C-alpha cells in the first residue's frame, strides 16, 4: 500500500468513525445495476446476501441505515422490509434535498451521515455528507470525489465491505464478530 493510499484510508476511517446513519443508493450499489423486467412488466432485482448481512450488522451496532433511490420498485420495498430498514426513500429526484430533510428530521449533522452511490446523479449527495463511498465499478467521475472506493462491485459485496469498514472505524468490529466466534 502506498503512503497516499494509506493516508486516504486513514482519512476515510476517521470520517466513518463519526457516523450515526449510513445511506445507500440501490441500482449499481445494492445491485449490480442490471434492470430485469418480467413479461408482465414486473421489475426484478438481485441483492447480495453478504451486503444484506452487513446492513443488519450496522443496525445492530447502532448505525441507522437509509436507502435513497431515484427509482421505485416493489422488489426494493420487500428487501427493505426484510432487512428492517424503515428509512426507505424511493423515486427521489433530488437526493441531496432528501438527505437534508432526513438530517433535519432526525436531528443529525450532515458530518455524521454517510452515503454510498455509484453514478454522477449521486455526486450532490456524496459531496454533502460526512463520509462518502462508491463501488469498484462506479462511473469514473465518482472515484475522485469520494472518501472510499470499495474493491468490489455493486451487488457483489461492496456494501458489505463498507459496512465492515464503518464497524472497524467505530471500534465495533470485535463486538459484532463476538457472537459468531464464541
| CA–CA dist 173, 170 (Å, integer) | 8
Q: What is the pLDDT of residue 43?
A: 87
Q: Residue 89's pLDDT band (boundaries 50, 70, 90)?
A: very high
Whether the per-residue pLDDT at 1 is higher than 90: the answer is no
What is the pLDDT, as a whole number, of residue 179? 86
Q: Is residue 26 part of a domain?
A: yes
Report yes or no on 133 lying in a domain: yes
Among residues 19, 92, 76, which one has the least CA distance to residue 42?
A: 76
Domain of 80, in residue numbers = 11-181
Mean pLDDT of 119-142: 97
59 contacts 172 by C-beta, under 8 angstroms:
no
Q: Say whether pTM exceeds 0.85.
A: yes
Q: Classify residue 47: in a domain, yes or no.
A: yes
Is 29 inside any structural domain? yes
> Quick check: is 129 in a domain?
yes
- Contacts of 1 by beta carbon, 8 Å cutoff, 6+ apart: 9
CATH number at residue 106: 3.40.50.1000
Average pLDDT, stretch 157-166? 98
41 dihedral zone (left: phi>0; alpha: psi -120 to 50; beta): left
Question: 134 lies in a domain?
Answer: yes
Residue 5 lies in a domain: no
Residue 156: pLDDT band by 50, 70, 90 thresholds? Answer: very high
Q: Rounded to 10 degrees, what is the CA torsion of 108, 29, 57, 125?
A: -10
pLDDT tens, residue by residue, 33-55: 999 998 998 889 999 999 999 99
Measured CA to CA, the distance from residue 6 to residue 87 in angstroms comes to: 33
pLDDT, mean over the chain = 96
Q: DSSP string of 124-182?
A: HHHHHSSEEEE-TTS-HHHHTTSSEE-SS-TTTTHHHHHHHHHHHHTT-HHHHHHHHH-
Task: Quickly state the pLDDT bin for 6 (edges 50, 70, 90).
Answer: confident
pLDDT on residue 84:
97
89 within domain boundaries: yes
Of residues 179 and 26, the one with the higher pLDDT is: 26
How many domains does one find in the chain? 1
Amino acid at each position: 500500500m502506498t503512503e497516499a493510499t494509506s493516508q486516504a484510508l486513514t482519512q476515510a476511517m476517521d470520517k466513518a468513525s463519526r457516523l450515526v446513519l449510513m445511506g445507500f443508493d440501490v441500482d449499481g450499489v445494492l445491485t449490480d445495476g442490471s434492470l430485469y423486467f418480467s413479461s408482465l412488466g414486473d421489475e426484478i432485482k438481485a441483492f447480495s446476501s453478504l451486503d444484506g448481512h452487513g446492513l443488519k450488522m450496522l443496525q445492530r451496532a447502532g448505525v441507522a441505515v437509509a436507502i435513497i433511490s431515484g427509482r421505485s420498485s416493489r422488489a426494493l420495498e420487500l428487501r427493505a422490509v426484510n432487512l428492517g430498514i424503515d428509512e426507505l426513500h424511493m423515486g427521489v429526484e433530488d437526493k441531496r434535498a432528501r438527505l437534508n430533510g432526513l438530517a433535519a428530521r432526525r436531528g443529525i449533522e450532515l458530518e455524521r451521515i454517510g452515503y454510498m452511490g455509484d453514478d454522477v446523479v449521486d455526486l450532490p449527495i456524496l459531496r454533502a455528507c460526512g463520509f462518502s463511498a462508491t463501488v469498484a465499478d462506479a462511473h469514473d467521475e465518482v472515484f475522485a470525489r469520494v472518501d472510499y472506493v470499495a474493491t468490489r462491485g455493486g451487488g457483489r459485496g461492496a456494501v458489505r465491505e463498507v459496512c465492515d469498514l464503518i464497524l472497524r472505524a467505530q471500534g465495533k468490529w470485535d463486538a459484532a464478530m463476538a457472537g459468531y466466534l464464541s
